[in-house]
Amino acid sequence: MSSSAAPSDASPPAGEPPGPNHLRRFLTIWIVASVIATPLVAIFLGPILPPGKASDVAAGQVTDFTVTLSLATPVLLLVVLYLIYAIVAFRQPSGAALEGPALRGHAGLQTFWIITSVVLILTLATYATFRLEQGYGAGSGSGPNPLTKPSGPRLPVQVIAQEWAFTYRYPTYGGVETTHLELPVNTEVELHVTSLDVIHSFWAYQLGVKADANPNQDNIAFVKPTKIETFEVHCAELCGIWHGAMFDHGHVVSGPAFARWIAEQQRFFAPVTKQLPKYSRTYLPEPLRRGE
């Protein structure tokens, strides 16, 4: 299968000036673009990134998004600018049948690429792990035994998911179960997410919390809301036909307002609370039967 390529048309005939130094050109373009774009991304795009700063974990995620996006920007620019450069500079002239140089590799470049990508990846992975544990799970559901827990008093709130609504139980307030979530501002909250039937997922967007609700599992997430505002609650795991309708709005309110609210809830739901099962980390209703 070997054939020797005809060398006649490929390189410029002797005596003509050599072609432009593509490497220097492209590297210049890329470095300049990266130096301009990366700070712009970090400074201007970063602060407005989701999910906002309404809680400590959400603010942490904004930082993580910003850092990751800033590290990704030069990589994105490298490939996109290279594509554009190649399309412009390395064309086959119309009607010609020229060939490029028969280059099959470059040990130095390959080594450099491998080392750089390993360094970049290890940096990202270390950063992500550090931020995950420093942030006590960074708002994600960390299972029944989280690795790191915030110190100090925490308000336990149980999120009970079922087809197709979330209810919220406050064990330190007599185990009252409410239909809306209200949280006091600047208080560390320990969310216990569980399900009564199928897999759901509790996603409080502005709070930066997402924890799956599995039957017979207690999924713990930590969050400390820092702003008084309304947040969206969505179910983020397909749980049946009304999954799309399984959303709600929760509120972060001041301490006194929360105390008033929870007292009102306890009073209002008192007859119901008497009939509820005792507070427990998981509840095991009857096994599912199809068709009922």
Partner 1 sequence: MSTTTVSRTPERPARPLWRRLVGFNLLAAVVLGVGGYYFGWWIGHLVTNTKSFEYTEKVDENDVALLLAYVFGVVGFLIGMGFANYPVQRLLGRPPSLREKEGEGVSRYFGLCTDHKVVGIQYLCGIGLFFFIGGLNAMLIRTELLHPTPTFTGANQYISLVGMHGAMMMGMMTSGILGPFANYFVPIMIGARRMAFPRIEALTFWLLMAAGFILTSTIFFGGFPTGWTGYEPLNDQAVMGMDSYIIFFALVGVSMTLLGLNMMATIITMRAPGLTWSRLPIFVWATFSTSILMVLAAPMLIAVLLMAALDRTVDTTFFIAAGGGSSYLFENLFWFFGHPEVYILALPGFGVILELLPVFARKPLWGYRLAIAGMLGVTLLSFFVWQHHLFVSGINADLRPFYILSTEIISIPTGFIFLCFIGTLWRSRISFTVPMLFCLAWAFNFLLGGLSGVFLSDAPTDTTTHGSFFVMAHFHYTIMGGLIFAFFAAIYYWVPKMLGLNFNEKLGKVHFWLMFIAFNSTFLPLFALGMEGMPRRASFYEPKFHTLNVWVSVSAFVLGFSMLVFLFNTVYSFIFVRQKAAENPWHSKSIEWQVPTPVPVNNFEQIPVFDSDPYDYGTPVPVGAGVGGMGGPQISGAGG
Q: Which residues, numbered 179-238, are part of the site for partner 1 (CB under 8 A)?
A: 193, 197-199, 201, 203, 205-206, 208-212, 214-219, 232, 234-238
Q: Are 216 and 284 in contact, with CB atoms under 8 Å apart?
A: yes
CB of 44 to partner 1, least distance (A): 16
Q: In what order do the strands lie in the sheet with 155-162?
A: 176-178, 165-170, 155-162, 189-195, 219-223
Q: How many residues bind partner 1 (CB under 8 A)?
A: 116
Q: Rounded to the nearest 10 degrees, how much is the dihedral formed by the CA atoms of 145, 148, 150, 155?
A: -10
Whose Cβ is closer to partner 1: residue 239's or residue 253's? 239
Give CA–CA dist 42/175, Å, rounded.
45
CB of 242 to partner 1, least distance (A): 6
Q: Is 277 in the site for partner 1 (CB under 8 A)?
A: no
Which member of 31, 32, 40, 76 binds partner 1 (CB under 8 A)?
Answer: 76
Which member of 36, 113, 272, 280 binds partner 1 (CB under 8 A)?
Answer: 113
- Structure-token pair, residue 262: 């929870």
Q: Rounded to the nearest 10 degrees, how much is the dihedral formed by the CA atoms of 85, 87, 88, 94?
A: 160
- Structure-token pair, residue 261: 């609210």
Nearest residue to 162 (alpha-carbon basis) of 67, 80, 266, 235: 235
Whose Cβ is closer to partner 1: residue 70's or residue 265's? 70
Stretch that binds partner 1, among 37-45, 175-183, 241-249, 257-265 (CB under 8 A): 241-249
Which member of 239, 252, 253, 262 binds partner 1 (CB under 8 A)?
Answer: 239
CB of 197 to partner 1, least distance (A): 7
Which member of 15, 17, 44, 104 binds partner 1 (CB under 8 A)?
Answer: 104
Length of the chain: 292
Give CA–CA dist 179/265, Å, rounded.
10
Question: What is the x/- site pattern for partner 1, positions 30-69, by CB under 8 A?
Answer: -------------------xxx-----x--xx--xx--x-
Whose Cβ is closer to partner 1: residue 139's or residue 184's? 139
Whose Cβ is closer to partner 1: residue 15's or residue 108's? 108
CB of 200 to partner 1, least distance (A): 10
Q: Which of residues 117-156 bind partner 1 (CB under 8 A)?
A: 117-118, 121-122, 124-125, 127-129, 131-133, 135, 137-147
Helix (H) / strand (E) element for 88: namely: helix 56-89
Give CA–CA dist 276/200, Å, rounded.
21
Helix (H) / strand (E) element for 184: namely: strand 182-184
CB of 262 to partner 1, least distance (A): 27
Which member of 100, 256, 271, 277 binds partner 1 (CB under 8 A)?
Answer: 100
Nearest residue to 209 (alpha-carbon basis) of 184, 187, 185, 190: 190
